[in-house]
């Protein structure tokens, strides 16, 4: 069965520092991978997605992620974190089930940014 | 263009009470989803509707029912609320085209439900 693991529950970084959030997936076929961000009290917003092709994908707000098939990973990165990036981040894998296209989410990583 | 809207934003229920969470989307999407979010557990799928007139169970359907009223609206009903259903509930939609873009889901702002 498909699954997504985000090993870091909580990460704290200083503003201006670089960021890497880890995501590992388990899925038998070619995965469709997503990163979503949830600001406090808000819904989820899509940051970026990987379908195929170039393994380094760019997203909104200066984020990027790299798909590594050999490591079953899709880690999210940002070169310089801003205080407004404090939020919870979810990695997800797309799964086909009958006629529906569903997402399986990881448990999330909460990012705290110190000034 | 409001995207996905949910009502109410907050709700407090007593054990045994019933209520319906409403969701509507104005993007002409075919598929709609209901999730619950609990601390440390990410988002778990309760029910989904791949198209108007169809609904299917997700990962955690017990204690819930859904109705796909039309293409725009997808409601979630708690017939007899229990404290274990205290959670944040999110509705989402996707344009069920063929191919990978069909997995791209758009989320509403959520309903925070407390059952005492």
Average of pLDDT values for A89-98? 89
Question: With an 8 Å Cβ cutoff, are A101 and B54 in contact?
Answer: no
Question: With an 8 Å Cβ cutoff, are B40 and A101 in contact?
Answer: no
The answer to whether residue B104 neighbours chain A at the CB level (below 8 Å) is yes
pLDDT tens figures, A50-77: 988 889 999 999 999 999 999 999 999 9
Interface of B with A in 55-94 (CB under 8 A): 56, 58, 90, 92, 94
Reply yes or no on whether the pLDDT at B76 is more than 70.
yes
Test the B interface: residue of A6, A32, A43 with most B CBs within 10 Å: A43
> How far apart are alpha carbons B47 and B10 in whole angstroms?
21
The answer to whether residue A59 neighbours chain B at the CB level (below 8 Å) is no
More confident site: B50 or B66: B66
Question: With an 8 Å Cβ cutoff, are A100 and B31 in contact?
Answer: yes
Provide the mean pLDDT of chain B.
Answer: 93
Helix/strand/coil for A69: helix
A105 near A92, Cβ under 8 Å?
yes
Q: Which two tokens stand for residue A101?
A: 């296209």
Phi first, then psi, for residue A83 (nearest 5°) are -60, -30
Reply yes or no on whether the pLDDT at B86 is more than 90.
yes
Average of pLDDT values for A19-33? 90
């Amino acid at each position: 069965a498909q699954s997504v693991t985000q090993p870091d529950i909580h990460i704290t970084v200083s503003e201006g520092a670089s960021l890497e959030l880890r995501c590992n997936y388990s899925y038998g076929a070619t995965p469709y991978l997503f990163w979503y961000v949830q600001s406090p009290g808000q819904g989820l917003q899509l940051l970026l997605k990987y379908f195929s092709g170039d393994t380094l994908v760019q997203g909104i707000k200066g984020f990027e992620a790299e798909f590594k098939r050999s490591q079953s990973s899709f880690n999210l990165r940002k070169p310089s974190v801003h205080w407004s990036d404090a939020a919870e981040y979810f990695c997800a894998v797309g799964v086909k089930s009958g006629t529906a296209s569903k997402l399986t989410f990881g448990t999330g990583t909460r990012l705290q940014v110190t000034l | 263009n409001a995207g996905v809207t949910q009502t109410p934003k907050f709700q407090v229920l007593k054990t045994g009470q019933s209520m319906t969470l409403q969701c509507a989307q104005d993007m002409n999407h075919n598929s709609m989803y209901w999730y619950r979010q609990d601390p440390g557990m990410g988002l778990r799928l309760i029910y989904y509707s791949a198209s108007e007139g169809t609904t299917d169970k997700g990962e955690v359907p017990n204690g819930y029912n859904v109705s796909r009223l039309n293409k725009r609206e997808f409601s979630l009903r708690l017939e007899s609320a229990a404290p274990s259903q205290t959670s944040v509930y999110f509705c989402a939609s996707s344009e069920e085209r063929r191919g990978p873009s069909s997995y791209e889901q758009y989320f509403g702002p959520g309903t925070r439900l407390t059952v005492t």
